[in-house]
Amino acid sequence: MPIQSEGSNDTPAPGDWDYRGGGSEPGRRFSFAVFQWKLSEGGQRLIPGNEYRRFSYSPSTEGRARGRAESLCQELKGLDHLSRCSDPQVRIKFSSDTSINSEDLFLLRRDEHPKVRINVAMHRNATLDILEELSHDAEADVRAAVAWNRNTPDGLVLELSQDQIGTVTSAAGRSLEARRRSGSLTDDAQMVH
Instruction: Render pLDDT for 142-164 as a digit per residue (tens, 0 to 9).
Output: 999 999 999 999 999 999 999 99
Q: Are 128 and 153 in contact (CB under 8 A)?
A: yes
Burial of 55 (0-12, 13-18, 19+ CB in 10 A): buried
The CATH number of 88-192 is which of 1.25.10.10, 3.40.47.10, 3.40.1180.10, 1.10.10.10? 1.25.10.10
Domain boundaries for CATH 1.25.10.10 within the chain: 88-192
* pTM (two decimals): 0.82
Task: Give the bridge partners for 32, in sequence order.
Answer: 21, 55
pLDDT tens string 66-118: 999 999 999 999 998 899 999 999 999 999 999 999 899 999 999 999 999 99
